[in-house]
Structure 1
């Protein structure tokens, strides 16, 4: 039986005989150096996808927090740990993403929020849902937002999408801070209680900053009305990031017929915003989760409507564009996440080195052949000198014999040269040329001797 060591020795000996020891050693050193660099690169680099992610969500109980929790459970199946960072809402999420000191990777941001900020370091993974604005109020039915002029309005906590959108819509209706309409920033305590106790006349709420339990309580409270945006079409055309949404009759409670009629609402889409540099594998996992969570039909959406790649203020992620066009990358589509990460890390290190090793291994034989050829070419220079002397001194008595003796010495020396079998053609060509020169010298010597006899 052959041991691996003896097999390697036999293989090396065979290669040495065929190509020469120098070439085999040179190529072996190149390969070993490449392997060493690859191993070092694997130890020092971290090209594999991270296994942790931080999401800026929203206040406890909000739609954003519940969405983040669902993402957390889905990504956990792939071995990715998701940390959920509570926030004040959409605008707060945007500010955290922009702040380099904040350890945040992705966040939920409402369309229209990023209009006045530098979002060059951010990218959008697409829109994942609609976020309707709901206005609850007491008293006589209201038709227009301008009907709330002079009242006390709770427009949500600063930093929330509700607060920002409410200010924008009220401004379109001539209601601005500092006027006779009192704009309150989220009264402390229970907002429903504030409305019921007549501390406020109307309450603006959205899912990014309000508990779904709170919304359900408001909808089931007698004498509290949900504002119907009869001008929804006009709002959607005046404000580019707003959409007209219809809450169908009985959509919230069929048994109690809530609402009692179709109600028109308006609202932006929610975008999944990431920092520039998010690993493509994590981007794919997030979009997988978005499809699982948001791809089902709902009150305001059709099946498969979300997630969708629509550009607003933040540029679209190239990885997201690739995902929407062709799905996950080949590695992460073929292998489990942890294995695909290892393969990706190895390929990131190995491919550049392989691309360098291939030309290096191709050049090594050429350089070695050049070295052998250089050693043989020096004997061609000797042959040229002998031929020149033979031509120049053809009639000199005894010169041809002297040149033949010199040529015999050259032939004897060349015969002792050892070259690998792969380069034998060079040596045999040289010996053939030596024989050619010898034949010419011998012919000249014979011709000169014959002439001497005639004379």
Structure 2
């Protein structure tokens, strides 16, 4: 190995030994921060939707497709509806769920365990009735209010949907006792089949207009949609309800369906999540909600949803930023996972740099000490030789032999060129001590030779 290469390797070794502990500390802190912050979201998440062919199920599929582009698998969990979804969240069986406002009684602990990603859309109460049944009970094919349902066979939705509780409150507000109706709690599909077969007189849904069942019944001959003429009054009595209007012809302009404006009452559906859900997932869902729910619909104008207003639970800060603030600059030009990693780690990295910079100042002095110590440690041996020489009783040949051995060892020392001055200074000092030893040895011999000549 050439001397130049050996010097280079030694310099690198000294640098690694000097800066290595600091580098290891820095890496350990970064790994610790990464473990604590967990900037990378899990690859899968569970979303509770609703019955098959419901609006919840359709929206769930849209979220599933949207998050697939970012490498996130959305596992859809079918349920009976909103109330069932809320219970699934409480039990920790799903990460996110669609929950209808007013569909279930919120518990005090819900505000600590659940967060909202904002209101997504309105779900009107669709009360479809058969025209022949209306004529049979009221002598008219058109009903004017809930009070005219007395005696009819009415399906108020499955128990897990929360709709039976809502209808019970609406019927009670109209002074209708449950025993005055023949109520059933079938799920959407079997209830719709029974309704079309004439086994039911009326059927109630609480769903977004995207529901396939709603779309079909709106265009089915002989089926009418109840208009809540007092929808403003309902909204005053029940804060979770909003008065909405289904405009004339919005279903089918050519066929003029519906033939008149229909007043409805609607609750607002929100996307809820468990408190421990990864922040990056909350951001992804909130951002995609703007694309899925931001367009104009039958009951809202463009960009009216998603909204952070009228939330029954605290809004997650990730949703607040995603809905009310522009898209972060990094996410416009980078894949989401890279942008999210930088956004979540930059503050921690700044703190680490602030801590590491002062500590890094000890590296140059430590490196300098290690290099110079290879030279200075031989000064101890040189001092021993010099002290022995000053003692007066010394063997000149032995000291010169020690100096020769010391000089041989010093010649093997390798230091960077910037520290060569200390090495050459040591070699000069060895020569200086050699001269002194030689001089003192000669002085010690002169008296001995004079005494010998005098004796002769």
Contact 1:79 1:337 in 2 (8 A): no
Could you say which residue in structure 2 is the equivalent of 1:271? 270
Q: Deviations over 1:19-48 (max 9, x none)?
A: xxxxx9665423333335545775898432
Helix, strand or coil at the partner of 2:87: helix
Matched, 1:170 2:160: no
Per the alignment, do residues 40 and 261 of structure 1 end up closer, same or farther by CA in structure 2, a change over 3 Å counting? closer
Helix, strand or coil at the partner of 1:126: strand
Helix, strand or coil at the partner of 1:131: strand
Could you say which residue in structure 2 is the equivalent of 1:244? 243
Structure 1: give runs of 5+ residues left out of the alignment. Answer: 16-23, 369-419, 422-455
Helix, strand or coil at the partner of 1:165: helix
Could you say which residue in structure 2 is the equivalent of 1:134? 126
Per the alignment, do residues 7 and 238 of structure 1 end up closer, same or farther by CA in structure 2, a change over 3 Å counting? farther
Per the alignment, do residues 234 and 94 of structure 1 end up closer, same or farther by CA in structure 2, a change over 3 Å counting? same
Contact 2:290 2:323 in 1 (8 A): no
Runs of 4+ in 1 over 6 A off after TM superposition: 1-5, 363-368
Give the superposition deviation at 1:152: 2.1
Helix, strand or coil at the partner of 1:296: coil
Per the alignment, do residues 221 and 188 of structure 1 end up closer, same or farther by CA in structure 2, a change over 3 Å counting? closer
Could you say which residue in structure 2 is the equivalent of 1:146? 147
Helix, strand or coil at the partner of 2:263: strand
Give the superposition deviation at 1:86: 0.9
Contact 1:55 1:107 in 2 (8 A): yes
Contact 1:48 1:344 in 2 (8 A): no
Helix, strand or coil at the partner of 2:200: coil
Contact 1:187 1:194 in 2 (8 A): no
Could you say which residue in structure 1 is the equivalent of 2:96? 106
Per the alignment, do residues 199 and 39 of structure 1 end up closer, same or farther by CA in structure 2, a change over 3 Å counting? closer
Helix, strand or coil at the partner of 1:133: strand
Helix, strand or coil at the partner of 2:180: coil
Per the alignment, do residues 44 and 305 of structure 1 end up closer, same or farther by CA in structure 2, a change over 3 Å counting? closer
Could you say which residue in structure 2 is the equivalent of 1:181? 181
Structure 2: give runs of 5+ residues left out of the alignment. Answer: 135-139, 368-417, 420-456
Contact 2:126 2:207 in 1 (8 A): no
Contact 1:53 1:105 in 2 (8 A): yes
Contact 2:85 2:98 in 1 (8 A): yes
Per the alignment, do residues 188 and 362 of structure 1 end up closer, same or farther by CA in structure 2, a change over 3 Å counting? closer
Distance 2:320 2:341 in 1: 24
Could you say which residue in structure 2 is the equivalent of 1:375? none
TM alignment of 1:24-39, pairs within 5 A: 28-36=20-28, 38-39=30-31
Could you say which residue in structure 1 is the equivalent of 2:229? 230
Q: What TM-score do you get using the length of structure 1 for normalisation? A: 0.69
Q: Deviations over 1:188-218 (max 9, x none)?
A: 963234224442221111227x993322332
Distance 1:92 1:2 in 2: 78
Distance 2:252 2:3 in 1: 81
Distance 2:5 2:65 in 1: 49
Contact 2:54 2:213 in 1 (8 A): no
